[in-house]
Structure 1
Amino acid sequence: MSSRRPVIGIATQTLPAVPGERQACWLMGRSYIEELRKVGAVPWVIPLVPHDPDTLQEIFNRLDGVFITGGVDVDPSRYGEPKTELCGTTDTDRDAVEIALLKHALAAKLPVLAVCRGIQILNVTCGGTLYQDVHAQVPAALKHDFFPTPDRPSRKYLAHDITVKAGSRMRNILGDAVVPVNSMHHQAIKDLAPRLAATAFAPDGIIEGVEGVDDQYVVAVQWHPEELTETQPGMARLFTTFAQAASAA
């Protein structure tokens, strides 16, 4: 195993310009960066420059793993649907860069860890589709959109349990058959991509976790484990096992 700290690529998200106040920015939440740094990885924050594939490829070639984070909705055009009023804000540059990043990682057999929006863009990259809004399109669904508000600011709120499939990589990492998770999403996997296996489910049947169907480390969850690592050892293991896989890549 290499003694060099693994370099993990993380695509950013667009913060639009405000005339007279700020130019457009690329940004990423600190908690994602801190969790990677805590497990010994070197986070590499990637600019959204889909118009410059040569620069992106130079970055991709230096990576040992890929981490895909939460964020705005995936544009439905990426999975062959028109965008309806059910879909929220999108970021076309982020979609393009993350799809390119994931295609590189899958082709190069780099470890992939994805959370929230990450599981969705991974599924789309691999040929799957999404619900543009779970509440509207899945009548029997639980409430999944526990977004922080001034009255309920915590991102650590445990909204529901998930059931984890026996014998899966996910079960081996999380350690338990039933795990409480937070929930801050209104979209979810509809048609699962053929190269992914569903390994965790909400009580209403919504897919909460997937992994690759081969030996490559590809793990994705619909919740936000970066907020739960201090209270749930299984959540911390998502990051430590990912970093270990990237070190060995």
Structure 2
Amino acid sequence: MLRPHQWHLRPRLRLTAQARPERTLSAVANRPLIGISGRTKTAGELNMKPDTFRDLHLDVYYCDYALGVIAAGGLPVFLPLSADPAQYGDRLDGLLLSGGTDIEPERYGQAPCPELYTREPDRDAFEMALLDSAADAGRPVLGICRGIQVLNVHGGGTLHQHVAPHARHDQPTNSIAHRVDLTEGSLAASLYGPSMEVNSLHHQTIDEMADGYEATGYSDDGAIEVIESRRRPWLGVQWHPELMDSRDRDPVFDWLVQAASG
């Protein structure tokens, strides 16, 4: 999980009328809609000025998730926590659960440990309901970092609340931290091959696996890095593929958009 003060912001690009690429309405209409979860913060928590706005609430999203979806041919849709998650299932073609804060341990039957980071119960409830809606509608889901943990807890699994060696918050977000070995014949292996090197920006890992899921990727110390649903097109990865440097876009976004196109 990333600490709030370690967020990084990217400049927004604005295209002029002359620079804007021409796209037909049909081309845009055919792009699958990929919902991306985020979080709600006050302007004061984000140190935004002037102070008059400090109590105003903002919906906050990392740009990198949207860029990954766009590069793969999808159309990103940011999902505010104030909306009704039950309404999204039939309207979205796919769902991306983004990274962020820790899940309330009470959701998986544990008392909070002292090392927990920030928690957002409203976001927990929203994303759990999003998964219910996606399940009812048969939509594909990609969970990233916190997102893989939400998938597991939603299914009845548990988490290690704090695993210190996996927290690499003193490193750049695209820094290679360790290798992940992938199970032969798994969806993850079909995307990445037998192994890959990844970043590591989390301090929690999956403990007990939820029923209906299979762990298909492990770090060298045995931590679960990938889970795949046996019943649904749902995939979770513990690293942040949207932040990895690559000449080509990350194949996990291609998978999500292609699965959402069917």
Q: Is TM more than 0.5 here?
A: yes
Listed as ranges, the gaps of 5+ residues in structure 2 are 1-26, 45-50
Superposition pairs of residues 102-141 of structure 1, within 5 angstroms: 102-135=131-164
C-alpha distance after superposition, 1:118-173 (max 9, x if no partner): 000110001000111013xxxxxxx21112x4xx4x21100000110011111111
Kindly indicate whether the alpha-carbon contact (under 8 Å) linking 1:146 and 1:184 is maintained by their aligned counterparts in 2. yes
Amino acid across the alignment from 1:211? E
Residue 238 (structure 2) pairs with residue 247 (structure 1): no
Amino acid across the alignment from 2:188? M
Deviation, structure 1 residue 10: 1.4
Distance 1:179 1:127 in 2: 28
Counterpart secondary structure, 2:88: helix
Q: How many residues align?
A: 228
TM-score with structure 2 setting the length: 0.82
Give the structure 1 partner of residue 168 of structure 2. 146
Deviation, structure 1 residue 46: 0.9
Residue 62 (structure 2) pairs with residue 29 (structure 1): yes
Distance 2:109 2:43 in 1: 29
Superposition pairs of residues 40-119 of structure 1, within 5 angstroms: 40-49=73-82, 55-119=84-148
Residue 195 (structure 2) pairs with residue 178 (structure 1): yes
Kindly indicate whether the alpha-carbon contact (under 8 Å) linking 2:90 and 2:137 is maintained by their aligned counterparts in 1. no
Give the structure 1 partner of residue 229 of structure 2. 212
Give the structure 1 partner of residue 214 of structure 2. 197
Which has more radius of gyration?
A: 2
Residue 195 (structure 2) pairs with residue 166 (structure 1): no
| Aligned-pair Cα RMSD in Å | 1.8
Distance 1:105 1:97 in 2: 12
Amino acid across the alignment from 2:260? A
Amino acid across the alignment from 2:179? D
Query: Which deviates more from structure 2 when the two are superposed, residues 76-85 or residues 180-189?
Result: 76-85
Distance 1:212 1:56 in 2: 21
Deviation, structure 1 residue 78: 1.2
Distance 2:38 2:252 in 1: 21
TM-score with structure 1 setting the length: 0.86
Percent identical residues: 37
Listed as ranges, the gaps of 5+ residues in structure 1 are 136-142
Amino acid across the alignment from 1:36? V
Give the structure 1 partner of residue 242 of structure 2. 226
Deviation, structure 1 residue 184: 0.2
Aligned structure 1 segments of 4 or more residues deviating by more than 3 angstroms? none
Give the structure 1 partner of residue 34 of structure 2. 8
